[in-house]
Amino acid sequence: MITDVTELKVYADRLQEREEKYRNLFNNSGVGMFRTRLDGSEILDVNQKCLDIFGRSREEVIGKPSVKLWVDPQEREDMVKMLLSADHVSELEIKVLHTKNGVRNCVISIVFYREQGFFEGTLIDITDRKRAEETLRSSEQKLSAIFRTSPDSININRLDNATFVEVNEGFTNMLGYTREDVIGKPSVETGVWDDPEDRSRLARQIREKGFVKNLEACLRRKDGSLITVIVSSRLIELDGSLCTLNIARDITERKNLEDELRKSKRESEAANNAKSRFLANMSHEIRTPMNGVIGMIELLQHSNLTPEQYQYAEEAKQSGLELVNLLNGILDLSKIEADKMELELADFNLKSVVVDAFKLLSLTANEKALKLEHTIDVDVPMSLTGDAGRLRQIITNIVANALKFTSKGSVTLFIKKEFETELSVTLRFVIKDTGIGISAHSLEHIFDSFTQANISITRTHGGSGLGLAICKKLVELMKGSIGVDSTLGQGSAFWFTSVFDKQIKADADKIKTPASVAQLALHLPDTTQDKRFRILLAEDDPNTQKILPKLLKHYGYQVDVSCNGKEALLALQNNDYDLVLMDCMMPEMSGYEVTTIVRDQTSSVLRHDIPIIALTGNAMKHDIELCTASGMNDHLSKPLILGDLLTKLDNWLTR
Ligand code: ADP
């Protein structure tokens, strides 16, 4: 029997072709595909994508029960129930197990072939998509929480017509408007801008740069009150249209506070300056009459007094000197506080400064039978440039304190080199005493103004509590620091450092060592007989005119007085004087002018090279520069202290 199989063959070929197509599709599909038995006892077929979803090989899956691939068997049972009643399920969310990655979220769609008794379906892993959606949802939630709860005002405005799209509670709280008041309205119409120019500025900057940072603006609240805010804005795209996201912070209180602070800072600076000026003026004004008081007492001491009277006068003089000391302290401190203190830089010899300071201090040391010594390390350079007067003041103050608070033992000054460069040297001064010491508590405040460690002791010792405060400030001016180590009952060691310039060429001749008290005593008779030197005093203050000549007469000087500059010039043309004491500020002609004429070789004074010592009221650096510039040789500041005056006279007359 011959059968025509041609048609059959064609049919079979087509079938095979279709089967192949299906296979291809099945194998290469990006969606997981499977076939299982109804009871889940056996998985009949899976494609590669499905295997990927489970992380398993074909051998591990084919012929095995499908149940173990589910995370929750109940989920499968529910699905089977649905299939039995409806023949298919679509896009059901289930959880399956991946061997390595654990639980995966999938979407399953199944058709139930009732007659054949199996399921066929697709499986899509949506874990990553779900995760991304969740992240997005939670970040949206966070953002909207920030938007809702931010205390700052946040609003979104359309760029084209500036209408409010959204505002937060911060906005409604800050400006007193409700959402309904403003949404959909242009911001200028609502009246929130006090100055519409502020809005234009904001819009301009946004257009130019795309953002605005901390723009200060004035906004009007619904109740009409004004607030100051800083606004930051950024361009954003919302539902396809360009908008500005604006964040504003109310800084009204901060601004008011800043204004207050600035105002009170200005006021307190002004008050402080006024205080410093007042203190400086007052102490200067009080010093002038004190000059008269001390001078008169010294004069009185040179008259015929009983020892008892002399002692009374001496105590009055000491009180006067203490007062002058205190005034000097206040003057110094107020000058420093008003930043008016300038260092007077000049060449000096370190050893001379120490010897000089110790001259007076040794009197106290002798009285109290204390050993007063100094030790300067050999590597300390002696020829320095700096403010010798201020250095002497610091040393004198600290050593005087040490002597004051020590009743037996010694006070020693050590000077060491701490650091040296080619041009400068840092020195460390240590003043050790064997006195009462200072408690740890008092040490904390010892360098503050008006502080005294032990009030009861100070009462018997005197003092103002200004000394160390001034020392600290002076030391700081000299680029150094100051401190103290002390043990109560065992003594103290005060130290300070200072930076000095080294003299380029140390010229020994330039260093003037003032005559010592002992030297003075040698050639200065304390009676009136010897009038070796003739001095001209050019001075308009009647007090000084009265006291100085009488006082100096006791030390062997003859003093003539001129009341103003012109008289002084006349006197210098007619008499041969040895020295002039020249007040700087005088009527008719100032001391500077007189000096300039004297130094002029063509003028008709008898001696062009006569030593001229300036008497200055307030020895500021500037005044001294004027003295030097006009040709004066030296200066003394008022109130005149007899010891200083005698030293200077001796210095200039016995050269
Ligand atoms: P004052 O003019 O009162 O001496 P100071 O500022 O110089 O002011 O000193 C402040 C206080 O520090 C002193 O009153 C004293 O209590 C304490 N003090 C200073 N030096 C010493 C020292 N060497 N030994 C003990 N106490 C000292």
The stretch 299-328 carries a mean pLDDT of 86
- The span from the CA of 372 to the CA of 368, in Å, is 11
Cβ neighbours of 452 (radius 10 Å)? 18
CB of residue 465 inside a 6 A radius of ligand 1: yes
What pLDDT band is residue 238 in, cutting at 50, 70 and 90? confident
Report the interhelical angle of 591-599 vs 565-574 (nearest 10°).
Answer: 30
Q: Are residues 89 and 72 in contact, defined by beta-carbon separation less than 8 angstroms? A: no
Give the tens place of pLDDT for each residue, 469-486: 899 999 999 999 999 999
Pocket mutation for ligand 1, best pick of 398, 406, 452 (most atoms within 8 Å of C-beta): 452
Ligand 1 mean position to 252 CA, how many Å? 50
Same-domain status, 366 and 497: yes
Which pLDDT score is estimated for 271? Answer: 87
Same-domain status, 397 and 496: yes
Task: Pick the atom of ligand 1 nearest to 468's CA.
Answer: 6
- SS3 assignment, position 603: coil
Ligand 1 mean position to 495 CA, how many Å? 14
Beta bridge partners of 119: 36, 112
Nearest CA to ligand 1 atom 2: 463
What pLDDT band is residue 509 in, cutting at 50, 70 and 90? very low
Give the tens place of pLDDT for each residue, 81-120: 898 888 889 999 999 999 998 899 999 999 999 888 888 9
What pLDDT band is residue 164 in, cutting at 50, 70 and 90? very high
Q: Is position 263 within any domain?
A: no
Same-domain status, 228 and 189: yes
CB of residue 402 inside a 6 A radius of ligand 1: yes
Which pLDDT score is estimated for 283? Answer: 73
Q: Is position 554 within any domain?
A: yes
Same-domain status, 638 and 605: yes
Torsion of CA 80, 82, 83, 89, to 10 degrees: -110
Task: Pick the atom of ligand 1 nearest to 401's CA.
Answer: 20
Report the interhelical angle of 467-477 vs 388-404 (nearest 10°).
Answer: 150
Q: End of a domain among 486, 514, 542? A: 514
Nearest CA to ligand 1 atom 16: 453
Amino acid at 430: V
Which pLDDT score is estimated for 528? Answer: 42
- The span from the CA of 274 to the CA of 280, in Å, is 10
What pLDDT band is residue 619 in, cutting at 50, 70 and 90? low
Same-domain status, 477 and 355: yes
Same-domain status, 367 and 492: yes
CB of residue 468 inside a 6 A radius of ligand 1: yes
Q: Is position 49 within any domain?
A: yes
Q: End of a domain among 514, 545, 561? A: 514
pLDDT reading at 511 higher than 80: no
Nearest CA to ligand 1 atom 7: 467
- SS3 assignment, position 87: coil
Give the tens place of pLDDT for each residue, 335-349: 787 777 788 888 999
Which pLDDT score is estimated for 304? Answer: 86
CB of residue 464 inside a 6 A radius of ligand 1: yes
Q: Is position 361 within any domain?
A: yes
What pLDDT band is residue 448 in, cutting at 50, 70 and 90? confident
Nearest CA to ligand 1 atom 19: 401
Same-domain status, 445 and 555: no
Same-domain status, 80 and 188: no
pLDDT reading at 26 higher than 70: yes
**In 3D, which of 172, 173, 244 has the Cα closest to residue 215?**
244
The stretch 357-372 carries a mean pLDDT of 90
Beta bridge partners of 537: 561, 581
Q: Is position 462 within any domain?
A: yes
CB of residue 458 inside a 6 A radius of ligand 1: yes
- The span from the CA of 84 to the CA of 78, in Å, is 10
Same-domain status, 359 and 321: no
pLDDT reading at 516 higher than 70: no
Ligand 1 mean position to 416 CA, how many Å? 24
Highest-pLDDT range among 242-246, 543-547, 624-628: 242-246
Which pLDDT score is estimated for 518? Answer: 30
The stretch 345-356 carries a mean pLDDT of 91
Nearest CA to ligand 1 atom 25: 437
% of the chain exceeding 70 in pLDDT: 92
Nearest CA to ligand 1 atom 8: 465
Q: Is position 494 within any domain?
A: yes
Nearest CA to ligand 1 atom 4: 463
Which pLDDT score is estimated for 394? Answer: 95
Amino acid at 20: E
List, in order, residues 6 or more apart from 217 with CB less than 8 Å away: 193, 194, 195, 198, 202, 228, 229, 230, 231, 248
Ligand 1 mean position to 439 CA, how many Å? 12
Q: Is position 114 within any domain?
A: yes
What pLDDT band is residue 191 in, cutting at 50, 70 and 90? confident
Ligand 1 mean position to 401 CA, how many Å? 6
**Least confident range of 38-52, 148-162, 251-265, 331-345:** 331-345
Which pLDDT score is estimated for 459? Answer: 46
Same-domain status, 346 and 285: no
CB of residue 435 inside a 6 A radius of ligand 1: yes
CB of residue 438 inside a 6 A radius of ligand 1: yes
CATH code, domain carrying 77: 3.30.450.20
pLDDT reading at 598 higher than 90: yes
CB of residue 436 inside a 6 A radius of ligand 1: yes
Task: Pick the atom of ligand 1 nearest to 402's CA.
Answer: 23
- The span from the CA of 255 to the CA of 211, in Å, is 24
Ligand 1 mean position to 478 CA, how many Å? 22
Which pLDDT score is estimated for 22? Answer: 87
Cβ neighbours of 653 (radius 10 Å)? 15
Pocket mutation for ligand 1, best pick of 361, 396, 401 (most atoms within 8 Å of C-beta): 401
Q: Are residues 601 and 608 in contact, defined by beta-carbon separation less than 8 angstroms? A: yes
- The span from the CA of 487 to the CA of 82, in Å, is 96
The CA-atom distances, in angstroms, between 179 and each of 150, 164, 239, 626 are 16, 9, 20, 76
Task: Pick the atom of ligand 1 nearest to 431's CA.
Answer: 23
**In 3D, which of 649, 622, 646 has the Cα closest to residue 634?**
649
Ligand 1 mean position to 369 CA, how many Å? 20
CB of residue 453 inside a 6 A radius of ligand 1: yes
Q: End of a domain among 466, 495, 514? A: 514
Q: Is position 595 within any domain?
A: yes
Which pLDDT score is estimated for 463? Answer: 61
Residue 567: its H or E element? helix 565-574
CATH code, domain carrying 592: 3.40.50.2300
**Least confident range of 192-201, 322-331, 582-591:** 322-331
Residue 508 DSSP one-character state = G
Ligand 1 mean position to 451 CA, how many Å? 8
- The span from the CA of 540 to the CA of 283, in Å, is 21
CB of residue 467 inside a 6 A radius of ligand 1: yes
Ligand 1 mean position to 444 CA, how many Å? 13
Same-domain status, 450 and 422: yes
Query: In terms of residue numbers, what domain contains 620?
Result: 270-325+522-655
Task: Pick the atom of ligand 1 nearest to 406's CA.
Answer: 24
CA 648 to chain centre: 45
Which pLDDT score is estimated for 251? Answer: 94
CB of residue 401 inside a 6 A radius of ligand 1: yes
Nearest CA to ligand 1 atom 13: 452
Which pLDDT score is estimated for 1? Answer: 58
- The span from the CA of 300 to the CA of 310, in Å, is 8
Which pLDDT score is estimated for 620? Answer: 67
Mean pLDDT estimate for the chain? 86
The count of structural domains within the chain is 4
Which pLDDT score is estimated for 199? Answer: 84
Give the tens place of pLDDT for each residue, 517-555: 333 333 333 444 455 789 999 998 887 888 888 888 878
Q: Parallel, antiparallel, or unpaired for β 491-502 and 482-487?
A: antiparallel
Same-domain status, 111 and 159: no
Nearest CA to ligand 1 atom 22: 402
pLDDT reading at 442 higher than 90: no
Which pLDDT score is estimated for 512? Answer: 37
Ligand 1 mean position to 331 CA, how many Å? 19
The stretch 175-182 carries a mean pLDDT of 93
